[in-house]
Structure 1
Amino acid sequence: MKQNFTVRQGALDGVEVFLSVAQHRSFRRAAAELGVTPSAVSQTVRVLEARIGAALLIRTTRSVGLTEAGERFLSHAKPAFEELVAAGEVARGLGQRPAGLLRLSVPRAVVPILLEPLLASFCQAYPEVEVEIAASNELIDLAAQGFDAGIRLGQFVDADMVAVPMTPPFRFIVVGSPAYFAAHSRPRRTDDLREHACLRWRRSSGALALWSFNDNGHAIEIAVSGPLIVSDFPTMLGAAIEGIGLAQLPEPMAAEGLGAGKLVQVLEPFAPVIPGVFLYYPGRRQIMPKLRAFIDHVKSRPASHGKVPDTK
């Protein structure tokens, strides 16, 4: 059952009016400056004094002065109110043009592959925006940790986020080195993986990722085993090239190794297609201009078809 409550009257109510009266030593001149009536000014000051619990002004028919309490209140309230006004101007500026600190949470491997080409042109186009890159594979709460946006694989982006594609969809494929297949037969079915050394990666949640496949339109997941567990795809790619075991990787990441003959693809008919890499951010009604500028910058560039980094 909800309890009845009242909203406390704002501590700043009436402060601007008091400061104007104290500056001009006149209710009438303060009223003219604020665009209200003298009686409204007088009533506002009375309410402020009642809330504080002390008389702030000495009123006579000829003049207005400050009490000792009024002098002390003025000495603290005036600089504080000026700071508040200045803070409002700063915030207003950030709300009207691309400026300020833009914080992005991204996987480490994204920076040289997807972000560097974007950042060079973005920073040149928007010199008043400072971009901070927090490189980590950990999946975080953007709002709770003070980030404006993040970059991840599509399947790791929460449904309540707004997502902007940075790459086209691509397949997850299983690869191994020629040296590995010189000592092991090639798997023909997903069940054959039980007989193979498979490289695994541990999610930021701590769980070991299952290998995903598409079996005649049906999504299946398989728990594999092997000699090595890693925390990112680039390390897994290097281990596969060295012949330590089979790896399931984003196809664009393995493209160079396949083209150079350092890797061989297997189980091709079972490779699932994933959405790709996305820039994502909370779905707010009002987006700060700095983030809107970065989103538009991403959209203005063609989606990358090159190597796709570890973006879990």
Structure 2
Amino acid sequence: MRTTDLSELAAFDAVARHRSFRKAAEERGVTASAISHAVSNLEARVGIRLLNRTTRSVSLTDAGAMLLAQLSPAFGDIGLALDALNQYRDTPFGKVRINAPNSIAPFVLGPVIGKLIERNPKLELEIVATDRLIDIVEEGFDAGIRLGESLREGMTAVRIKPRMSLVVVGSPAYFARHPFPRMPADLKSHVCIQNMYPNTARYPWFFSREGHEVEFEPTGPLALHDHELMIEAALADVALAYVWEDRARPYVEAGRLIRCLDEWIVPEDWLYLYYPARRHMSAGLRAVIEALRVS
């Protein structure tokens, strides 16, 4: 098979998996028009329409679905063959795309990025941080990072560090006007920020002590999904915030925020790096896992 033929098939495979020329182009590192041209050339060469296209959607024809089913294992085998070459290299080679929550990415990946690249100079690490829950397969990621409770079936998960906690913080000026809470029930008389997912769903503040668990649902005037915004609101003396401990730490150490209810705070669920169970693991992804894995 000619190189151009393989390139066309790879372009089709990407479009078929993503159902999008734009996302396929991002994965392949080319323009959307180049992807469209490659797929059109493939269809002209085989004499069969493989994709149905409208201005808003892309779908597979029956022929396209059959071709994709045959191509996916073949491209998997090609990936395995190329990855096997890593045994002849000193360090892993190639791109690894990771998706991680924006609220915790700096504390999980920040401490390891420098050493990871230094030890693996031929590794290309591409990190996209977003709190939106995404399908890592559909969006072309090699792996994602999430709390264990939000992992999907069909994924292999590896526990990673650090284990993080959420804390309640307020400013000195806020506590000068409001009594210091001693119990989660005391929060009912406070102005508390509502924690929100990007899809606008709220989640409660969770506390536990000696086996006694409490969920508190704030009803304050602010609903935010970005922890940095929550901290800014707390610094503005208007409300208490329930944020990741590592995000609050520099402000607490500087005396700009005060922690409360610490005896009710428990570590969150472990974080996991997850990837499709049926997809081969590249040497680059193995290097990332080893850098993050809980020892």
Q: TM-score over 0.5 for the alignment?
A: yes
What letter matches 1:234 in structure 2?
E
Which segments of 5 or more consecutive residues in structure 1 lack a partner in the other structure? 1-84, 304-312
How far apart, CA to CA, are the structure 2 residues paired with 1:211 and 1:255? 19
Q: Which residue of 2 aligns with 1:257?
A: 251
The correspondence of residues 108-127 of structure 1 with structure 2, limited to 5 A, is 108-127=102-121
Deviation string 1:146-172 (CA, Å, 9 cap, x unpaired) is 2111223444444754123121x3432
Residue 217 of structure 1 pairs with residue 206 of structure 2 = no
Residue 238 of structure 2 is aligned to residue 244 of structure 1: yes
- Do 1:173 and 1:268's aligned partners in 2 also have CA atoms closer than 8 Å? yes
Q: What is the aligned partner in structure 2 of residue 103 from structure 1? A: 97
Counterparts of 1:112 and 1:245, CA distance in 2: 25
Structure 2 distance, partners of 1:185, 1:133, is: 42
Verify: 1:94 aligned to 2:117, yes or no. no
Kept after mapping to 2: 8 A contact 1:163/1:280: yes
**Contact 1:154–1:274 (8 Å) recurs in 2:** no
1:298 to partner: Cα distance: 2.7
Amino acid at match of 1:93: L
Q: Is the 8 A contact 2:164 2:268 kept in 1?
A: yes
1:229 equivalent in structure 2: 223
CA distance in 1, matches of 2:173, 2:149: 33
Q: For residues 233-286 of structure 1, give each alpha carbon's deviation from its aligned partner in whole angstroms, at most 9, with x where no partner exists.
A: 122122112212011122233222222222222223322321354433333474
Asked if 1:173 is matched to 2:162, the reply is no
Using the alignment, how far apart are the partners of 1:155 and 1:238 within structure 2? 28
Displacement of 1:96 after TM fit?
3.4
Ranges in structure 2 where 5+ consecutive residues have no aligned partner: 1-73, 87-91
Question: Which letter does structure 1 place at the counterpart of 2:266?
Answer: P
Task: Give the 5 Å matches for 1:1-312.
Answer: 92-97=81-86, 98-158=92-152, 160-167=155-162, 169-284=163-278, 286-299=280-293
TM-score, normalised with respect to structure 2? 0.63
SS in 1 for 2:188: helix
Calculate the aligned-residue CA RMSD, in Å: 2.9
Give the 3-state SS of the residue equivalent to 1:273 in structure 2. coil
Secondary structure at the counterpart of residue 269 of structure 1: helix
- 1:103 deviates by 0.7
Letter in 2 for 1:166: K
Post-superposition offset of 1:95: 4.0
Is 2:184–2:214's contact at 8 Å kept on the other side of the alignment? Answer: no
Query: 2-side partners of 1:191 and 1:111: how far apart?
Result: 32
Q: Percent identity?
A: 33
Instruction: Report the CA distance shift for 1:110/1:96 in structure 2 as closer, same or farther (over 3 A).
Output: farther
* Residue 220 to residue 110, structure 1, CA distance change in 2 (3 Å): closer
Q: Is the 8 A contact 1:155 1:274 kept in 2?
A: no
How many angstroms apart in 2 are the aligned matches of 1:145 and 1:207?
23
Whether the aligned pair in 2 keeps the contact of 1:106 and 1:136 (CA below 8 Å) is yes
Q: Which amino acid aligns with 2:94?
A: G
Separation (CA, whole Å) in 2 of partners of 1:86 and 1:143: 15
Residues paired across the two proteins, number: 216
- Point out the structure with max Rg over C-alpha: 1
- In 1, the alpha carbon distance for the partners of 2:254 and 2:104 equals 23
SS in 2 for 1:121: helix
